Amino acid sequence: MADPQQVARILVITAHPDDVDFGAAGTIAQWTDAGLEVSYCIATNGDAGGSDRSLSRAEMAAIRQAEQTAAAKQVGVHDLHFLGYPDGRVEASLALRRDLARVIRLLRPDRVVCQSPERNYLRMGASHPDHRAAGSAALDAVYPDSRNPFAFPELLTEEKLEPWTVREVWISGSPTPTTYVDITDTFARKVAALRCHASQISDPDSLEEFLRGWLSRAATQGGLPEGRPAEAFQVVQTG
Ligand SMILES: [Zn+2]
């Protein structure tokens, strides 16, 4: 892992509004408490989410953007970038890689958090096709696109965005995690962030219990003491 003293800026890239809160909000609250600057970039507008068929998809997209913005505030994040790709149809396309490379060059993060491009057979929910595609595009944007001046040359020549090297990536939902963050102290804020996604949560009463069970199992896998909730990541050196 990069020296935490050297990490100042972090960019979280996800497919949908709410993904960051399921995967990483407890860890992010610790980082913002420590004074690190965290930004979110969400690839889709989330318009295929929820089960309310009476809402138009445009209404759903607007609701989800507002929900993600409110959830971010719960964990100290105020800088959000919505790319507006259609929900359910994300591909690790050159267009998405360019858009992510643009955000990376603009924000110059030391660390990127993204979703796993690998299918996790133990957690199918984490392996939604949009998650895998967004994760793949994010890793391609980290290496090589954002650091190579000749990748998407218009970013440099037209937009004056200098190349930038991200030094490490934390992959959420990986089948092979390497790092378990004990989020005991920020668990309540993670729950509060997830409750902001009201359009997506069908049973808010059972949310906390579900999270406690799931995150405690992760902690046990990571060798943390019994009953501690943990978020798991595969940390990859990229710089
Ligand atoms: Zn998702």
Q: pLDDT tens-digit profile of 68-77?
A: 999 999 999 9
Cα(228) to ligand 1 centroid in Å equals: 25
Q: What is the mean pLDDT of residues 195-221?
A: 94
Mean pLDDT score, 89-105: 98
> What is the reported pTM?
0.96
| Cα 213 to Cα 187: distance, rounded to the nearest angstrom | 12
CA–centroid distance, residue 9 to ligand 1 (Å): 24
CA of 157 to the centre of ligand 1 (A): 34
- The residue whose two tokens read 């505030």 is 73
d(CA 108, CA 117): 23
Residues 6 or more apart whose CB falls under 8 angstroms from that of 13 comprise: 41, 43, 100, 103, 112, 113, 114, 115, 134, 138, 141
Residue 67 CA, distance from chain mean position: 15
What are the backbone dihedrals phi and psi of residue 146, each rounded to the nearest 5 degrees, phi first? Answer: -75, -25
153: pLDDT confidence band, cut at 50, 70 and 90? very high
- Give 150 Cα–ligand 1 centroid separation in angstroms: 32
Range of weakest confidence among 31-40, 45-54, 97-106, 158-167: 45-54
